[in-house]
Amino acid sequence: MSSKAGARYAKSLIDLSQEQNVLEEIKNDMVLFEKVVDDNSELEAILKNPIVPLDKKTGILNDVFGSKVHQITHSFLKLVVNKGRAGILFDTAKQFIEQYNRIKGIVTAELTSAIALTDAAKTEVINLVKKELGANEVIVKEKINADLIGGFVLKVGDKQFDASIANGLNKLKKEFAQGIA
């Protein structure tokens, strides 16, 4: 679930990053922030907890990220915490990465197959997605699901292409059931 506030904060940070010519560095910081919070649910709980004092939250973020992030990121984190909005930082980082990807023409594709695809097959899928969506880059997140029997399911945003054998068998089963009835 994404918040409008998180999207607005992310947009502001992107605008500032572009003005200062540090968009790549800030994007890397947001990726780092998202990964650290994702790997440490306690950190997210602390940030969202209204009982934890703001200076304590700022101190924790400083200890965890301190010199590892750009000064703009450091100031941004501190500003959001001091405004009492620390609870939306994780969402803001995710929104930042989404907006960054949109600006750069980067698309994420979920590719689920019965067995691991060869590099050649992956390259073919990437080229197809680039061509169909006019993307500059495609990030493929692979999943293995033996229940598909064979083939693959490709999901990009809200679009899904199902070329799995299991799906084909289900369609065939429905056609037979309708034909008999």
Are residues 110 and 28 located together in one domain of the fold? no
Are residues 26 and 81 located together in one domain of the fold? yes
| pLDDT over threshold 90, residue 65 | yes
For residue 126, what are the domain limits? 106-180
Are residues 98 and 128 located together in one domain of the fold? no
Are residues 96 and 25 located together in one domain of the fold? yes
CATH number for the domain spanning 17: value is 1.10.520.20
Are residues 8 and 94 located together in one domain of the fold? yes
Residue 163, classed as helix, strand or coil, is coil
Are residues 93 and 118 located together in one domain of the fold? no
**Residue 181 banded pLDDT, cuts 50, 70, 90:** low
Q: By percentage, how much of the chain surpasses pLDDT 90?
A: 55
Number of H helices and E strands in the chain, helices first, is: 8, 4
Distances (CA, A) of 1 to 4, 10, 83, 94: 10, 15, 21, 11
Overall domain count for the chain: 2
One-letter amino acid for residue 152 of the chain:
F
Are residues 147 and 81 located together in one domain of the fold? no
What per-residue confidence (pLDDT) applies to 78?
94
What per-residue confidence (pLDDT) applies to 1?
46
Are residues 128 and 91 located together in one domain of the fold? no
Domain finish residue from 102, 126, 157: 102
Are residues 78 and 95 located together in one domain of the fold? yes
**Predicted confidence (pLDDT) per residue in 90-146, tens digit:** 999 999 999 999 999 998 889 888 888 888 888 988 888 888 888 899 888 899 988
Domain finish residue from 74, 102, 130: 102
**Residue 39 banded pLDDT, cuts 50, 70, 90:** very high
> What distance in Å separates the CA atoms of residue 32 and residue 26, rounded to the nearest whole number?
10
Are residues 93 and 112 located together in one domain of the fold? no
User: Comparing 39-43, 140-144, 155-159, which segment has the lowest mean pLDDT?
Assistant: 155-159
Residue 132: half-sphere exposure toward Cβ, Cα within 13 Å: 15
Are residues 141 and 167 located together in one domain of the fold? yes
Distances (CA, A) of 79 to 15, 54, 151: 16, 10, 49
| pLDDT over threshold 60, residue 69 | yes
pTM of the model: 0.76
